[in-house]
Amino acid sequence: MANSAAAPTGSADGTGNWDAPSCWAGVLFRPALALLLTLVALALPKTPGGLRADAQGVAAVTGRHRRACAWPDVEAVRVRQVRGRGLGRRAYGPHVRLRPGAPGPPRAFRGRAGRHLVLPAGLRRAVPPDIAAAFVRFSQGRRQG
């Protein structure tokens, strides 16, 4: 009876020969690419972001995008659930309702019922204590919870 041991199959070149460097190049390419992309992402500068409420108004910075609403243009400030593409998200953030005739924010930040998102603030309904104190101090009674 002959030896029935089957020859190994499944190598990159279909011959069963894993000794050739060209076979290993295809196997190692994806992990090397993932490592390279991770290192590039870590080396890039961090995206600046922040929420500011002061005597002039409320403003937010996200990367290169800045949006601001002056207090005379703001009718009400309220923390609401962030909605995107018609769906509720888990995040909450301060929304402002502008007075009629006030210039609106860019399209990406427009909300429902005349309320506009300033900046997502987190997964809780409450904004950080320092921002809440600034809203109470500067909004002159416009804050609604």
pLDDT (tens digit, 9 = 90+) per residue, 111-144?
Answer: 666 777 777 777 777 777 777 788 788 877 766 6
pTM for the predicted model, two decimal places: 0.57
CB 60 within 8 A of CB 67: yes
Sign of CA dihedral 138, 59, 101, 94: negative
Strands 74-84 and 65-70: unpaired
Give me the helices (H) in the chain, please.
21-43, 129-138
